[in-house]
Structure formats: structure tokens, C-alpha cells
Amino acid sequence: MSFSMLRSRGLRAAARSAGVKPVRSTLPAMRFLQTDADKSSPAESLPDAGDKPFTVALHGESFHSYRCDAPSNEISITKDELVQMYTTMVKMRRMEQAADALYKQKMIRGFCHLAIGQEAVSVGMEHAIDGDDRVITSYRCHTFAVLRGGTVKGVIAELMGRVDGMSYGKGGSMHIFTPSFFGGNGIVGAQVPVGAGIALAQKYLKKKSATFALYGDGASNQGQVFESYNMAKLWNLPCVFVCENNKYGMGTSAERSSMNTDFFTRGDKIPGLQVNGMDILAVKKATAWAKEWVTSGKGPLVVEFVTYRYGGHSMSDPGTTYRTRDEVQQMRSEKDAIAGLKRYILEWGVTDEASLKAIDKNAKEEVDVAVEEAKKSPFPDVKTFWTDIYYKGTEPPMMRGREKEEFHVYHKN
Amino acid sequence: MASRAVSKVLRPATVSARALSSSSTTSSAASKLVGRNALLTTPLARVSRSEPKWLVGAEQRRLASSDEGAQQMTVREALNSAMEEEMNRDETVFVMGEEVARYNGAYKITKGLLDKFGEDRVIDTPITESGFAGMAVGAALAGLRPVCEFMTWNFAMQAIDQIVNSGGKTYYMSGGNVPCPVTFRGPNGAAAGVAAQHSQDYSAWYGSVPGLKVISPWSAADCRGLLKAAIRDPNPVCFLENELLYGVSFPVTKEELSEDFLLPIGKAKVEKEGSDVTVVTHSKMVTHSLEAAELLEKNEGIKVEVINLRSIRPLDIDTIIKSVKKTNHLVTVEGGFPAFGVGSEIIAQICESPAFDFLDAPPERVTGADVPTPYSESLEHMAFPDTDIIAKVLKRHLYRQ
């Protein structure tokens, strides 16, 4: 078995060439796509300057394409950007872990869906798009809300229902918005047609921006998703449909919910790309490629990021009744996106262990400070119960509360 | 002016387009895009109506009007002209729905719009209500003003999650960060002979959702003023028309034909003043209520006050209270199912209000029957109120059987 073939083309190809039957994967899904977070390697020696770009070769199995040519396996990156990505991913993980702890302390109520393990997708995407691009996703939205112009304090405060929350405490975990981020949506799959509508608006207003409409493997079978595919392709909308495939829709594995688990092929005539969602460089490359595709008038795309969540579906789900602890442990120890990026940074000599430890410490402190500030934020005043039902200034004269003497007057008739 | 008054082709929109192009050269250079904030300060036209000379009946009958400059206009033309004017005024307004473009509209409401505005602004959608209603919401969140047509509101049940959850609640859940200025419109309630799945009235369903505005117009002027107001309104609006009214003509005044004619959403109109009983109604039932009122006045000397709700939400309870205090009697008339309906809500609100003490009899409802609408004509007529049953109920209500 040749080691170079193993490194560049993966275990299966190398095993095949040596005539050896490949070892069956311990993961429940048969994945031909490479899903390790650390299999990319630099194609040239790294420059000294932190902002000078160098080329990295992604693993050959990072992309599988459908009805199109996959992007090349090369990405241009700088040392500074690698460190940036690491900083952001660590901060996002810290924030989600803080939310986990706050939920257990009962300071967060209701729904809380955490994206621990899926950081490479949100951070990698953000590094390939700009403030004019639009993103919409489901309820697993905290990291996107911060990355798209929000703040950690704003998200944590919103989860705790405080006035300093990004929706002033009125929306909660699933309804956080920024000018380029349309939530945070509670109804599974409903965000996909809304995302296609946002893309329609971008095209109508002649903007050169892409819209990313995200959904999960669980939502991928929704009828409205296919209705959106149809209209987006029909009208050539600049919409990238992104399936964040973390292999489980709540407690149901993808194999048990979907007759076709190649989610990147579900767009019928829409070209698709399946991407290793654990390697942040692959995510960035694929996102940049997708943005270029849809904004150059080629129509929509379906991009599937194969990723994994360590936690349960939400805080009320331990996440171990439908998958083994071993599986979760294996993913955490072997395929973790942050560990993978850390490996790149250390092995390629981008920076040293001490700096990374400092970044870790910094991120923890930053999040802790944000949590403390959020805790100090007051609960919303009763007045805000009545605001924003209708657009300010267009309210009816009054709105009713629980009984006839409980009502709010907006203006005299 | 005189030549326009007798013109058979009622295209007030084209008239005003000519006026627009000739008189507003100063504003033509400025961007036609109207910012959302600007719209909030648009004044609402207070129109003083002369005695209403309404026409009833499904056939189009033209009545010579003695008013100077008064014209006839069908509800269809009213809706068409309203949409055209709003699309001229604001470049972000566009229309989408099944058959709205090349077919000129399943009920011809969007006739001519494709020719005037092109396929970018008048969009034929596939038969995928859930998808395109969601897209209308998304386009609204992203800064446009879509007018999303449902071929009938029955089909909108496929899209009701997008209307209520994605559209109606987003502004509140975002703490006021994300408005949704979408307008959903289409025919609602009874048609003729289309049976159970195509005849339901959804006023009560959408009327129960805070965050939506729900309009149920009657006359051509209602349709013009309220559709224009709905499109300009920065909230999600459900505009419930009625197919049987599309071909009915109503007189319209010059003010009602003007480009900036708006009616306030949430204000009812007293169509006929009376002193003996208040009839609160909406949409096609206004026609039947007025007919019944005329009959009773002629035959029994009963003076019925007919209130045209115009809006289901916000509901103009103050006008109803004022009327009930005057007449001491309340009967509601609607086409929807009786259970948990618009009439039930009105009566509940009246009972909770000071007007209760003025009632001389328990308030009553006249509604559609609690039956899935049958097909055969002999049965269908029992599914919806008509003039005779309204008159009968009013007489009985006043103990004058």
C-alpha cells in the first residue's frame, strides 16, 4: 500500500490498489467522502509574512460533485486568516458551551439548539462571503447570528430573554436576526422558500450577492424545499441551498428518514456539491466557489456540508439514545474541526502552541465577560409586550390582553 | 372631463398615468423607489361620499348617474387599477401568483399588467403555494413589496404556515428588526357551484392572528382604497376578495379614482343609516344586507343600519358600539361557518363593551351553514345567507314576524 496514495487519495483508493479489502467504517453511514478535519496539506512552503497568501492542497476526497465539475482542490490562504478562523471557531464553541451551562442553570428556557461540532460550517462560510450576501438558516442559528454582524453578548442575552438580546428578548433562541441574516426560524423547512425569496429580491434589485438558504438533513425531505428548488432553477435565482448534514434529524438518522441520502443530488437538475464539513478550508473553498457560481448567472446550487453535532438535537435531548457514545467520542477525538485546524496551524508552523493556548484563554474570557454582562441585563419591561405586533405607527387603536380590562392603547381613534 | 365621463373603457389608471407623466416632470428624475419610512407619513384620503348609489345583483347594470364626473367601475377594474397604480408608484411592488402574467389572471384581475410591467414584475409561479408564499415573505423581508395572489384562499391553506408564522410573527419575534410588507390577495368564500373544497371563508382564521391585517372589501371603492392601503402598509396583509363581486359595478367618484386614494385599514363604513337594528357584515353579504334593508324599509317601515366592516382585523368595534347604542339591536351577517366565526367575535366584544347595556334583545348571527358546501344548486342555496333569510331574521329579531 503506497503511503503517498493513501495521503492523497484516501484509504479506499490505496487499499484497492494494493488489492486489500478496505476496513469498514465504524460510522453508521457509508461515507465515501473524506470527513477528516486535518487531511489538507500546504502545496508550497509557507511565507514568513502573516498576510501573504500561500496555496494549500485539500484532500482529494473533499468534494463530490453532481452535474458539475467540483472546484479544484487548491485554496489560497494566509497564516493570519488561519489564526483568525481558529480564534472565531474557539469563540463560537465557547459561546455554545456557555449556553449549555446556562440552560442547565435554568437561565435559558424553552428551546436551545447548539451547534457544537459544526463550527467549521458557519465560520468557514463566513470567511468566503461578505456583508452583502444573505444567509438564512433554521433554529441552530446562534453561531450564524454572531458571525453575520451580531455579538456574543447579544445572543446570550437573547437566549436569557433579556432586553440586551438581539431581539430584545422577544424572540429567543430561534429568532435572532441581523441585516444580512434572516434568522433563526422555528418551523422546519420553512426558511428554505423564504431564502429563495430573498434570492429573488437580490436578483430583482440587481444585487451581485448570493443568498445561502440552509437546512438540515431532517428538513431536506420537506415538500417546500423541492418547491424552492424548482422555482430557483426556473428563474435562475442566485441561491445556494445548503444542506448541513449532521446525519441525524433529531433522533432519526438520515438513513431512516431519507430514501436518498445523497442530499447534494436532491436538486434534480440543480448541480450539487458534497463537501467535507469538518475541514474548514474545504468549507471556505466550496462556499467561495458556490458564491461565484450563483452570482455569475449560472443559477442555484445545492451544497451539502457533511458535519456532525456532538450534543443532542437540543438541550432536551441527551443525544445518546439514537447513537452510541463511542460514535460521538470517535468523532470528537478523530474528526473535530477545531482540532483539525489546530493541527494545520501547528504542523505547518503558522504559530506555536502557546499562542493557541492564549487564544483559547482569551476566547473563554471574552465569552465569560459577555455572559456576565448579559446576566446583568434586565428583563424587558411590560411595555414591550405590546410593541412590534404591527409596524410602529400602523398599530390599531388598541390591542387586547387576557381579559377585557387588560388592553393597550396605541393612539386615540 | 365630459368626454372621459361617458367613456366606456374604464381605465382610470391610464388616465392618471397620463396625468402623472405630464404634470410631474420634476419628480420623474428622482428615484421612483419609495422608502419605507416615507410611506408611513403618506396621508390617508378622507373621502366624503354622497348618498351611495350602489348596484346589486350579479349582472352588470349601468345606472346613469346624476353626479358630475361620477363613473361606474367593476370590482375587477378597481383591483386592477389599484395594483397598476401602486406598481407605477413604487418600483419594489411586484405581483406573483398562478396565471397572473400571461393568462392575465385566472379571474382577469391582473389583466394587462404583464404588458405594462414585464415579466420581472409580474411573475407566473408554478402551482406550489407553500413555496411561492414563502418566497413572497422572503422577498418582503429583503426589502421588496410583493403582492402574492392565491387563485383562491382555499389553496392558501397549503401556505398558511408561511403566512402566519414566517409572515405574521416575524416582526414581533425580531423585536421590531425585520418588517414584512407583503400583501396576500385572492378570492375568498363562496363562489357558485364549486362545492366544499372551494367555498370556504377564511376571515375568522386569519382574523385571529395578531401580526396580520385582514381586509374583506365590498365595493369597487373599497377595493381600490384598501388594496392600495394594503400594498403601502408595512405589515403582512391578507386581502380577502370575493369572486362573485368581481363583475359587479359600483359608482366611483373622482376622488376614489385618484392615484392617492387610500382608505384606512381598520375602519368600518356605515353604508346605510338606520335607527331600528344594526346589521354588521362584510364582503358579498353587504349586498344582501342592503337588499334586505331596502325590502324591510319599503314593506315594514323598518330602518336598518348596515355597517360594512371592510376590515376583519383590526376590527372597528367602536363604529359598531356607536351604532348599537343608537339602534339597541345587533345582527351580524357573514358567509363563513358559524362556529368560532367573525359574528361570534363581534357579539362577544359587544357583550364585553358598554354597548351591552343598550341592547334590547340578545344579539344574533346569520352565517353560512355548518355544512361542507354541497354542489347541487338546490342544496347550495341553503349553505349561504341570502336576502330573504336576512330579512326574515331581522323581522324576527325585532319581534315583527
Tell me if A111 sits within 8 A of A273, measured CB to CB. no
Categorize the per-residue pLDDT at B163 as very low, low, confident or very high, splitting at 50, 70 and 90. Answer: very high
Please tell me which residue, B345 or B11, carries the higher pLDDT value. B345
User: Distance (Å) from the C-alpha of residue A64 to the closest C-alpha of chain B?
Assistant: 28
Mean pLDDT for all residues in chain A: 94
Categorize the per-residue pLDDT at A246 as very low, low, confident or very high, splitting at 50, 70 and 90. Answer: very high
A197 touches chain B (CB under 8 A): yes
User: Distance (Å) from the C-alpha of residue B364 to the closest C-alpha of chain A?
Assistant: 21
Give me the pLDDT at residue A229, please. Answer: 98
Give me the pLDDT at residue A23, please. Answer: 54
Please state the rounded mean pLDDT for residues A267-283.
Answer: 97
pLDDT at B4 over 50: no
C-alpha distances in angstroms, B19 versus A188, A307, B22, B78?
Answer: 49, 60, 5, 18
pLDDT at B401 over 70: no
pLDDT at B69 over 60: no
Q: A209 Cβ partners below 8 Å, 6+ apart?
A: A130, A132, A133, A134, A202, A238, A295
User: Distance (Å) from the C-alpha of residue B284 to the closest C-alpha of chain A?
Assistant: 25
Give me the pLDDT at residue B37, please. Answer: 47
A186 touches chain B (CB under 8 A): yes
B125 touches chain A (CB under 8 A): yes
Cβ–Cβ below 8 Å for B135 and A387: no
pLDDT in tens, B290-321: 999 999 999 999 999 999 999 999 999 999 99
User: Distance (Å) from the C-alpha of residue A180 to the closest C-alpha of chain B?
Assistant: 9
Categorize the per-residue pLDDT at B56 as very low, low, confident or very high, splitting at 50, 70 and 90. Answer: very low
Q: What is the DSSP string of A66-131?
A: ESSPPPPSEEEE-HHHHHHHHHHHHHHHHHHHHHHHHHHTTSS-S-----TT-HHHHHHHHTT--T
A175 touches chain B (CB under 8 A): yes
Cβ–Cβ below 8 Å for B166 and A399: no
Over pLDDT 70: what percentage of chain A? 93
Mutation test of the interface with chain A: which of B120, B137, B157, B178, choosing the one with the most A Cβ atoms within 10 A?
B178
pLDDT in tens, B219-240: 999 999 999 999 999 999 999 9
Please tell me which residue, A213 or B401, carries the higher pLDDT value. A213
Tell me if A40 sits within 8 A of A57, measured CB to CB. yes
Beta pairing partners, A302:
A241, A272
Give me the pLDDT at residue B35, please. Answer: 43
CB interface of B with A, residues 128-147, below 8 Å: 128, 130-144, 146
Give me the pLDDT at residue B3, please. Answer: 41
A110 touches chain B (CB under 8 A): no
Nearest CB among B40, B138, B266 relative to A196 is that of: B138
Whole-number Å distance between alpha carbons of B172 and A99: 23
CB interface of A with B, residues 28-57, below 8 Å: none
User: Distance (Å) from the C-alpha of residue A166 to the closest C-alpha of chain B?
Assistant: 8
Mutation test of the interface with chain A: which of B37, B87, B177, B350, choosing the one with the most A Cβ atoms within 10 A?
B177
Categorize the per-residue pLDDT at A12 as very low, low, confident or very high, splitting at 50, 70 and 90. Answer: low
Which range is least confidently modeled, A80-84, A249-253, B36-40, B268-272?
A: B36-40
Give me the pLDDT at residue B2, please. Answer: 42
For B176, which residue in chain A has the nearest alpha carbon? A388
Give me the pLDDT at residue A4, please. Answer: 72
B301 touches chain A (CB under 8 A): no
Cβ–Cβ below 8 Å for B138 and A195: yes
Nearest CB among B120, B131, B173 relative to A170 is that of: B173
For A395, which residue in chain B has the nearest alpha carbon? B314
Give me the pLDDT at residue A412, please. Answer: 72
pLDDT in tens, B102-129: 999 999 999 999 999 999 999 999 999 9
Mean pLDDT for all residues in chain B: 87
Cβ–Cβ below 8 Å for A388 and B130: no
Categorize the per-residue pLDDT at B78 as very low, low, confident or very high, splitting at 50, 70 and 90. Answer: very high
Give me the pLDDT at residue A2, please. Answer: 59
pLDDT in tens, A160-210: 999 999 999 999 999 999 999 999 999 999 999 999 999 999 999 999 999
Burial (CB < 10 A; 0-12, 13-18, 19+), residue B52, is: middle
pLDDT in tens, A62-121: 999 999 999 999 999 999 999 999 999 999 999 999 999 999 999 999 999 999 999 999
Tell me if B272 sits within 8 A of B235, measured CB to CB. no
Give me the pLDDT at residue A21, please. Answer: 57
pLDDT at B167 over 70: yes
B120 touches chain A (CB under 8 A): yes
Of A190, A67, A83, nearest to A137 by C-alpha is A190
Q: Please report residues of B whose CB lies closer than 8 A to that of A172.
A: 173
Cβ–Cβ below 8 Å for A193 and B94: no
Cβ–Cβ below 8 Å for B211 and A182: no
Q: Tally Cβ neighbours within 10 Å of residue A338.
A: 21
Mutation test of the interface with chain B: which of A188, A202, A224, A233, choosing the one with the most B Cβ atoms within 10 A?
A224
B17 touches chain A (CB under 8 A): no
Pairing of strands B269-272, A54-57: unpaired
Q: Please report residues of A whose CB lies closer than 8 A to that of B235.
A: 390-391, 394
Categorize the per-residue pLDDT at B29 as very low, low, confident or very high, splitting at 50, 70 and 90. Answer: very low
Give me the pLDDT at residue B23, please. Answer: 39
Which range is least confidently modeled, A315-324, B58-67, B324-333?
A: B58-67
Active site residues of B: 129, 198
Whole-number Å distance between alpha carbons of B289 and B304: 9
Whole-number Å distance between alpha carbons of B387 and B358: 27
- Backbone φ, ψ for residue A387 (5° rounding): -90, 160
DSSP, collapsed to helix, strand or coil, labels residue A22 as: coil
The verdict on domain A41-379 having CATH code 3.40.50.970 is: yes
pLDDT at A367 over 80: yes
Cβ–Cβ below 8 Å for B175 and A166: yes
Q: Domains (ranges, CATH) in chain B?
A: 72-257 (3.40.50.970), 269-398 (3.40.50.920)
pLDDT at B274 over 90: yes
Cβ–Cβ below 8 Å for A183 and B235: no
B176 touches chain A (CB under 8 A): yes
Cβ–Cβ below 8 Å for A205 and B177: no
Nearest CB among B135, B175, B213 relative to A197 is that of: B135
B210 touches chain A (CB under 8 A): yes
CB interface of A with B, residues 214-243, below 8 Å: 223-224, 227-228, 230-231, 234-235
CB interface of A with B, residues 355-384, below 8 Å: 384
pLDDT in tens, A288-300: 999 999 999 999 9
Give me the pLDDT at residue B1, please. Answer: 41
A409 touches chain B (CB under 8 A): no
Please give the helix or strand (H or E) that residue A200 lies within, else none. Answer: helix A191-204
DSSP, collapsed to helix, strand or coil, labels residue A213 as: strand
Interface A–B counts its CB contacts (< 8 A) at 160
